A and B are shown apart, each in its own frame.
Chain A
């Protein structure tokens, strides 16, 4: 079931390319729905066990996948947002075949990232998800997409290549048999069992660990993104297709926090502990700085990009604090940020469809498109962490946990909450309220599918903002497990 969930979208992507035009949409939507269904079924059955097979035996590269805990919730949300994105793409983009294929191909990469428990496999999926993202930008991007594309690719690939070296180094210096996170037994030809050790069983000695961690961190900090490696992000979102569909996928691609959590924490505990103050400072600065920049943006997409960046600063703050509450909060934030930020990108797409612009100073949209304005505002409330919505749980837990580690840095980061309200509400006000400009085109309100596209994510954001238990039941044990691994490596002294 797990493998089907990972590779079904890729198969569907190939299928979309070959079936007759009129069937494409049904195939694409059906497969995203099926993937989501598989994800929910796995959730109901409490996650899957680890599945380990040799991939390139002489090199110790395995195909190890598992969907449980944090990765399961990320996978389900990815499947959900892909469904929403595909739904909107069908409605909005004329002749959406290529776009649907790319969305589906990217979904496989993303699900693979969350499922893999082998460093090389992780790297493969990590890069695989990049290719459709680049293609979406190339095929559907704005006028200066080439610059955005090169920037995006150069930043991400620079990070990932250094991460590749770290991956090579981790196995080499720890002396593990495989790249798998956890060891496993193989039955040899003569019937005896042999234990192949995984990476978490041996800790890389200091000071090599610090260097390897820096290589790994660089890749994740680009994806996260963390100041000063965020420069690709606004251009990427600004130049993407106005519908916002590629932006949703781009939002899902921010897997840096997850990578740090699932790999860096158990593999480089000492290094993370040593760098903690610096990294937390960097994270807090990112959050505040991004919010500040967002305040002065006059393009909705850039504004959303910087808002996302600000959230990611919070995520990073939580992870780097190595505190249980904060990490749970960071994972919560990372998971549900995809929902409301993705939906907001789609609402910007709807705005662009109606008034032909993504400028924040349009004015008066609310007078004719009340429902759209209302839903957008509710999503913004989720984004700026109004209590009762999913964003609040994440941000509050991060602040609560991080405060116990670095009170001053956390206090600075907490200012972001105020700044977020400022940039979000100002931009919302200038677009949706204010005077309606003279001679403005008639603005149609939400209809049909659009209600679903904005409503479903909002409903989930409310649900998980009020009733956190299902998500916490998945996140908490996983965080405790990873922290336990890190603590063992540190000698019980996290």
Chain B
């Protein structure tokens, strides 16, 4: 009997390990030092994690396509790009929390610890090579997220955390059930393995004669139903996580009930991670599987309508941003309907721009709100005359969220539309365009109110501008403008078709 040692290689895990180190140090070191020191340490760790994904440090992972644990963890370029977005969003959240955590009464090291654990989970999803690792990452992320949403000592936050927990665990359960089905249908947890088996089942002609003919034949007709059921269950599970209608009900309550820096984190980083999982599973493992496309397009249609319509009627800006997050889920998910070579880069580009613009909007809410329920839209009247820089930054980000050129959101939307359009979902793109108009109206209203002269006394928190928040806002706005004027800065990395061929399990 021969034993083979598992393929243990920690190099591809480097970014995750940095973040995990931050989490452990916050857990342990929080007893000995102030929360501020812990946070700065964590930001440093995140920066290191980000750098380790590029080739700047010399030992970077970019373009090396490393994998470990028999393909369970893959540090391919897709993982690194999405990991980069996650790290960026996390840095923004931490910077904002430096200013506002104290006001939100969540300023203790456990907050940082939970946040760093959540980021670890997020990165693990992006780096996952099989369903089990993905699930572990998802659960780490979700459990930490439930705690984060509840951490503030308030009834609203407790309610939101409980809602998040109950619906999130239902989502996880459905997801796990789907994973079991998928394993039953294909006999593999590995994305590449599943993709290969699905391709075999659907096109028996492509089966290599040397392959084990018996298993192939046994799989073909009987397991198709299980495969479809598994794919749909996973789709439902992910729909909870990314807030696709009709699984979105928890989102507005959680995003508006949680402390604002947590809303920032949940609506950007956690969403990016969940989309990374969807990208891995649907554009990778299940890319050839039947049925899920047609279900997903209806979910997207419902999301676009419900998210945008509901946002239209909001009077609280924070809640509006929560619904806008749902609406953007619809646009983001359109990328999944396309071929991976077109949809993948579109999704990666959109995720980055969405993180930047949504992050800025939440950061400004966090800085200006009087309490954690956010700002009402009427309160924003005349903001330009009180906080000109914030007003301009917020206006740029709202225009970008609405998809107006020359800001980055335009190319995000454009790419998503193009991806779905070229794969035959013309009706969905028309619907997306029509619902976009609604979104333009609700983004424009606060944006324009800010510039209207106002003689009533200010309704914002008086001491709203602090260096870390300003840095976040500046970073986001510069990113939104730069990526809008020169999309190639980021898109050229993503547009290389080679990296997406790997994702789809071709050329394994």
Give chain A's interface residues, CB within 8 Å of chain B.
55-59, 120, 123-124, 127-128, 130-131, 134-135, 137-139, 145-146, 149-150, 153-154, 157-158, 161-162, 164-165, 168-169, 172
B31 in the interface, Cβ–Cβ < 8 Å? no
B432-446: which have CB < 8 Å to A? 433-434, 436-437, 440-441, 444-445
Cross-chain contact B492 with A57 (CB below 8 angstroms):
yes
Cross-chain contact B445 with A139 (CB below 8 angstroms):
no
Q: Which residue of A lies closest to B435 (CB)?
A: A161
Q: A123-B405, A130-B404 are in contact. Are A164 and B417 (CB under 8 A)?
A: yes
Cross-chain contact B421 with A165 (CB below 8 angstroms):
yes
- Tell me the complex Cα distance, A146–B406, Å: 24
Cross-chain contact A157 with B437 (CB below 8 angstroms):
yes
Instruction: Tell me which residues across on chain A come within 8 A of B415, comparing CB atoms.
Output: 59
Q: List 29 A-B contacts (CB under 8 A).
A: A56-B411, A56-B491, A58-B345, A58-B491, A58-B492, A124-B406, A127-B405, A130-B404, A135-B448, A139-B452, A139-B453, A149-B448, A150-B441, A153-B441, A154-B440, A157-B440, A158-B437, A161-B403, A162-B430, A162-B433, A164-B414, A164-B417, A165-B426, A165-B430, A165-B433, A168-B414, A168-B418, A168-B429, A172-B418
Give chain B's interface residues, CB within 8 Å of chain A.
345, 399, 402-406, 410-411, 414-415, 417-418, 421-422, 426, 429-430, 433-434, 436-437, 440-441, 444-445, 448-449, 451-453, 487-488, 491-492, 495
Cross-chain contact A58 with B433 (CB below 8 angstroms):
no
Cβ-neighbour of A128 out of B405, B421, B451, B453 (below 8 A): B405
Q: A162-B430, A165-B417 are in contact. Are A138 and B492 (CB under 8 A)?
A: no
Cross-chain contact A161 with B433 (CB below 8 angstroms):
yes
- Tell me the complex Cα distance, A161–B416, Å: 13
11 further contact pairs, Cβ within 8 A, besides A124-B405, A134-B444: A56-B488, A124-B410, A128-B405, A131-B399, A135-B448, A138-B452, A139-B451, A157-B437, A165-B417, A168-B421, A169-B421
> What is the minimal beta-carbon distance from B187 to any residue of chain A, in angstroms?
37
Q: Is the contact region of chain A dominated by helix, strand, or loop, or is it mixed?
A: helix
Instruction: Tell me which residues across on chain A come within 8 A of B421, comparing CB atoms.
Output: 165, 168-169, 172
Q: A57-B492, A165-B430 are in contact. Are A154 and B487 (CB under 8 A)?
A: no
Instruction: Tally A-B pairs: CB < 8 A.
Output: 89
Instruction: Tell me which residues across on chain B come within 8 A of A58, comparing CB atoms.
Output: 345, 488, 491-492, 495
- Tell me the complex Cα distance, A211–B368, Å: 47
Q: Is the contact region of chain B dominated by helix, strand, or loop, or is it mixed?
A: helix
Cross-chain contact B434 with A158 (CB below 8 angstroms):
yes
Instruction: Tell me which residues across on chain B come within 8 A of A165, comparing CB atoms.
Output: 417, 421, 426, 429-430, 433
- Tell me the complex Cα distance, A128–B485, Å: 12
- Tell me the complex Cα distance, A123–B495, Å: 22
3 residue pairs, one from A and one from B, having the closest CB atoms? A58-B495, A161-B433, A124-B405
Q: A57-B488, A146-B445, A172-B422 are in contact. Are A154 and B404 (CB under 8 A)?
A: no
- Tell me the complex Cα distance, A127–B345, Å: 24
Q: Which residue of B lies closest to A151 (CB)?
A: B441
Q: A56-B487, A58-B492 are in contact. Are A154 and B437 (CB under 8 A)?
A: yes
Instruction: Tell me which residues across on chain A come within 8 A of B444, comparing CB atoms.
Output: 134, 149-150, 153
Instruction: Tell me which residues across on chain A come within 8 A of B422, comparing CB atoms.
Output: 168, 172
Q: Which residue of B lies closest to A121 (CB)?
A: B405
Cross-chain contact A168 with B417 (CB below 8 angstroms):
yes
- Tell me the complex Cα distance, A120–B487, Å: 13
> What is the minimal beta-carbon distance from B397 to any residue of chain A, in angstroms?
13
Instruction: Tell me which residues across on chain B come within 8 A of A168, comparing CB atoms.
Output: 414, 417-418, 421-422, 429
- Tell me the complex Cα distance, A165–B413, Å: 11
Cβ-neighbour of B445 out of A137, A150, A157, A158 (below 8 A): A150
> What is the minimal beta-carbon distance from A93 to any residue of chain B, in angstroms?
13
Cross-chain contact B451 with A135 (CB below 8 angstroms):
yes
- Tell me the complex Cα distance, A130–B405, Å: 10
Instruction: Tell me which residues across on chain B come within 8 A of A157, comparing CB atoms.
Output: 402, 436-437, 440
Q: A58-B495, A128-B406, A168-B417 are in contact. Are A154 and B433 (CB under 8 A)?
A: no
> What is the minimal beta-carbon distance from B404 to any residue of chain A, in angstroms?
5
Cross-chain contact B406 with A138 (CB below 8 angstroms):
no
- Tell me the complex Cα distance, A55–B436, Å: 25
Cβ-neighbour of B433 out of A123, A128, A139, A164 (below 8 A): A164
Instruction: Tell me which residues across on chain B come within 8 A of A149, comparing CB atoms.
Output: 444, 448
Q: Which residue of A lies closest to B444 (CB)?
A: A153
- Tell me the complex Cα distance, A98–B410, Å: 25
Q: Which residue of A lies closest to B419 (CB)?
A: A168
Q: Which residue of A lies closest to B402 (CB)?
A: A157
Q: Give the interface centre of A57, A123, A127 by most chain B CB atoms within 10 Å.
A: A127
- Tell me the complex Cα distance, A146–B444, Å: 10
Cβ-neighbour of B448 out of A56, A59, A138 (below 8 A): A138
Instruction: Tell me which residues across on chain B come within 8 A of A138, comparing CB atoms.
Output: 448-449, 451-452
Q: Which residue of A lies closest to B421 (CB)?
A: A168
Q: Give the interface centre of A58, A123, A130, A162 by most chain B CB atoms within 10 Å.
A: A58
- Tell me the complex Cα distance, A362–B444, Å: 37
> What is the minimal beta-carbon distance from B60 to any residue of chain A, in angstroms?
23
- Tell me the complex Cα distance, A151–B488, Å: 34
> What is the minimal beta-carbon distance from A228 to any residue of chain B, in angstroms?
17
Instruction: Tell me which residues across on chain A come within 8 A of B403, comparing CB atoms.
Output: 161
Instruction: Tell me which residues across on chain A come within 8 A of B404, comparing CB atoms.
Output: 127, 130-131
> What is the minimal beta-carbon distance from B394 to any residue of chain A, in angstroms?
13
